[in-house]
Structure 1
């Protein structure tokens, strides 16, 4: 009987873990879908809502390391000043893996279809749950 209770407890715990993991991934994917929409509308502030609004945010790209939410937004505004420059964004997610209870990495590809020339690349971003919300705390894109 003890073995049956232990087995049932383990089953419930693993089911809750799998359900939470699936819910976390769905929430992260929703944020990224919202980012695609905002970017494609040249709403860079809307795009940045997926990022942690902190000076500790880190973005690492071809121009080096940028620290801070506002600095990252300013770089985006400078590099993508018009709809022709921002184009239409699509992500292809290749992997979402749990790092710890409150963090995941997302690896994928981005595709910018633009009249000024398409731009494509790869990324790895780190999401962390902060105050009950998933936010990107680090982004490496090239």
Structure 2
């Protein structure tokens, strides 16, 4: 009887964790879809929703490391000052995993279609953390 109870408890826990992972996965994918729509609407401020609003946010790009939400936002504004440079964004998710409790890791490809400025693209890795019940990007490495 004791083994049966333990087995049932373990199965229940595993089922809850799998369901939670599915919900978390969908939340992250929905956030990325919303960010894509915000970018394609020319709204960098709305696009930033999904990043950790902290001085500890880390963005790693071709020019090195930028720390902080506000600094990251300002860099986006400088690099993409108008709709022509922003183009149309497309994300392709190559990998999404949950290596630990409250942590997610995303690897993908990005592409900007820019008829006037020329297309650009590359890869990215995003480290997400669930903070206060909300998934946020704490580190973005885009190249």
TM-score by length of structure 1 reads 0.96
Structure 1: tracts of 5 or more residues without a match:
none
Shift >3 Å, 4+ stretches: none
Separation (CA, whole Å) in 1 of partners of 2:53 and 2:44: 14
Task: Specify the alignment match of 2:66 in structure 1.
Answer: 66
Separation (CA, whole Å) in 2 of partners of 1:60 and 1:23: 28
Separation (CA, whole Å) in 2 of partners of 1:108 and 1:84: 23
Task: Specify the alignment match of 1:105 in structure 2.
Answer: 105
Separation (CA, whole Å) in 1 of partners of 2:29 and 2:114: 23
SS at match of 1:51: coil
Task: Specify the alignment match of 2:41 in structure 1.
Answer: 41
What pairs up with 1:9-48 in 2 under 5 angstroms?
Answer: 9-48=9-48
Deviations 1:1-50 (A, max 9, x none): 32222222111111001000111111111110010001111100011011
Separation (CA, whole Å) in 2 of partners of 1:72 and 1:3: 53
Separation (CA, whole Å) in 1 of partners of 2:6 and 2:128: 34
Deviation at 1:73, TM superposition (A): 0.7
Separation (CA, whole Å) in 2 of partners of 1:11 and 1:102: 21
TM-score by length of structure 2 reads 0.96
Cα RMSD (Å) = 0.9
Separation (CA, whole Å) in 1 of partners of 2:77 and 2:58: 17
Structure 2: tracts of 5 or more residues without a match:
none
